[in-house]
Structure 1
């Protein structure tokens, strides 16, 4: 298992890949961030947690959690300290071990069927 900017992955279990999920103050998940890179018809979308930082009128979540691509969401949430995130200016330096452990635990208990 490894973390890349696009999420945690377990080889052979693509439906259980997962990035860090985020929640807004009202408990909802924000929609993907859309980046308009010019005057073309193609737009880049992202659900990377650090893009939801309040810049350019983007929503700013208050907590993060583990999630799978198949739709599973962790029940435990972890407060995001945006001051620390901005201070380091490196999302990989921010501690996402809580959501990772929540993501990994069900896989360790009973690995998904291939």
Structure 2
């Protein structure tokens, strides 16, 4: 398995539809809603130079309390299949790897355990 920042995928056969990620959790315990972002295209070679581009993001590290954005105090793991991790883990905005964990700890570890359970049922 590979821990790719924000989106986790299993490279083992069988768990299609089981991409995971860490979701930002706010101080009141609720999951953060997606943030609407916009920027002006600055690239002089772009035909869209000067145009405003809009997109939404839900990367946990974008909830940093800056520029009127909400502040993530924790993260929790979720999976595309609908599974949600039970634990909350501190959001360390200056340490993404420490926040997401590894195969044995943190939200990635909890998601990884979920994937192992899924694999055990398809083998």
TM-score, normalized by length of structure 1?
A: 0.76
Structure 1: 5+ residue stretches without partners: none
| Range 47-56 or range 29-38, more displaced | 29-38
1:72-101: CA deviation from partner (whole Å, max 9, x where unpaired): 21001112244xx1xxxx634x34211011
Asked if the contact 2:90–2:99 (Cα under 8 Å) also holds between the matched residues in 1, the reply is no
| Largest Rg, 1 or 2 | 2
TM-score, normalized by length of structure 2?
A: 0.72
CA RMSD, Structure 1 to Structure 2 (Å) = 2.1
Structure 2: 5+ residue stretches without partners: 41-50
Larger proportion of helix: 1
Residue-pair matches, total? 105
| Range 52-61 or range 13-22, more displaced | 13-22
Structure 1 stretches of 4+ with a deviation exceeding 6 A read none
